[in-house]
A and B are shown apart, each in its own frame.
Chain A
């Protein structure tokens, strides 16, 4: 598996630049997830505060606003846990290049949610991330410098 990890550079070397982007994004998510984990993201309703503050001005569709107001705010601890879990999943997946395609789609979902519940200051950031996740999913960025290559070589298919 480790041989395949490095062998991938030889066979799918054209994906190498995008692999660096993937690893960098993974590192970024890991840093933020650790900050949240060590801080009070899970114990104080930061996410509920954020939703309540920005939802009225959000471009989100009405069904999302209703869902956020009726479910996400009162159950903010569950929401915080899911967001943190997804951030860790994206971080680890991108860094080691494992199940990158499906995880990138989760990243898209995470970005869309954050886009709806965040203020204009971070709107551009999430839009950029959204584009990056989509591209990583599209090209299957885990196949270069990642464990996805090992599975891709043996099984092929859309998952790798």
Chain B
């Protein structure tokens, strides 16, 4: 028994130390300072805006930009909390409005002063937080293929149609930002008690609650589901990148929730000035254009979206007030959601 416990302890301790000392690829020593940007996969990946922004930034900064990939935006905070300073991030990209309260309570952040920004009116309330700056935003709704459904849902209640049983790809609100947005949308539209009753019913309609948006969207594109909770701009991606016009973002009688994505500089940053310069690039006309075209989200700065296919999409009916729930409130809602989910599995 003693041998066994010792053996297991040594293995896990060894693995723990190995993980602690594991260097990220590309961290080889260099004379140039390296700005480490921590962001979610669809931002930092080769198809996202990250590589183009990196290229533009490296042209002028006499530095290197290195991305640390954090999967879904909902998972960024989890990693930041677990790994903290050892993550070595100078800049964190991709927190949404529900993460802000938690982020500020768990981690010290640098104040950002970027002067007067010429942003859209819809974005102005999101500028209230002095530690984080929004760099893009988007409305969320359900996306489907044109011929997949005999009747298109037009309200939250329509999603309870038996035709859609086990055919909706949803995201887990505990790990995914769009998942949290859906939870908020239901609560906001129906009130808390009615909202949770509704969520209980939607459990039967969901194919699964994926931990990330990309997994949920993958289920949809693989035709395992008929609906997916995604962005109003998602069909535009298929239209531009794949020349396919059969994807459709549904309109709902309930105003759609809006997700703002924020960037912030943790207090433990090593190249804080470079991080601030990178934010300036993200908010410049060129940066915003890259983000819009690669991230398929609306830019926050005026003068970028005009006369592009994105402009008409901005006119969807959305929730007008900007609400950044406190971390306690988010935890309470997630706890109630978990109870319902657990009940459903029973």
Contact = CB atoms under 8 A, between A and B. Distances in A.
A55 to B, nearest CB: 8
A45 B72 CA distance: 9
Given A88-B11, A92-B11, A49 B69 contact: no
A92 B15 CA distance: 12
Interface stretch (B132-140, B205-213, B243-251, B303-311): B205-213
Contacts of B172: 52, 73
A15 B62 CA distance: 64
B211 A69 contact: no
Contact of B69 (A44, A88, A99, A151): A44
A62 B345 contact: yes
A143 B186 CA distance: 61
Contact of B346 (A43, A45, A62): A62
A48 B175 contact: yes
Contacts of B34: none
B1 A85 contact: no
B215 A42 contact: no
Interface in B133-188: 172, 174-175
Interface stretch (A19-27, A74-82, A120-128, A129-137): A74-82
B209 to A, nearest CB: 6
Given A53-B215, A76-B211, A85 B11 contact: yes
Contacts of B18: 37
Contact of A69 (B7, B69, B215, B342): B342
Contact of B7 (A49, A70, A73, A98): A98
Nearest to B219: A53
Interface of A: 37, 40, 42-45, 48-49, 52-53, 55-56, 62, 65-66, 69-70, 73-74, 76-77, 81, 84-85, 88-89, 92-93, 98-99, 102-103, 106, 151, 159
A56 B7 contact: no
- Counting chain B residues whose Cβ lies within 8 A of the other chain, the interface size class is 35 or more
Contact of B175 (A42, A73, A88): A73
A88 B338 contact: no
Given A84-B15, A99-B7, A77 B82 contact: yes
A76 B8 CA distance: 21
Contacts of A81: 15-16, 19
B11 A52 contact: no
Contacts of A48: 175, 211-212
B75 interface: yes
23 contacts: A40-B69, A42-B19, A45-B72, A45-B175, A48-B175, A48-B211, A49-B210, A52-B209, A52-B210, A56-B207, A62-B345, A73-B172, A73-B174, A73-B175, A74-B175, A76-B175, A77-B82, A81-B15, A81-B16, A85-B11, A89-B11, A99-B4, A99-B7
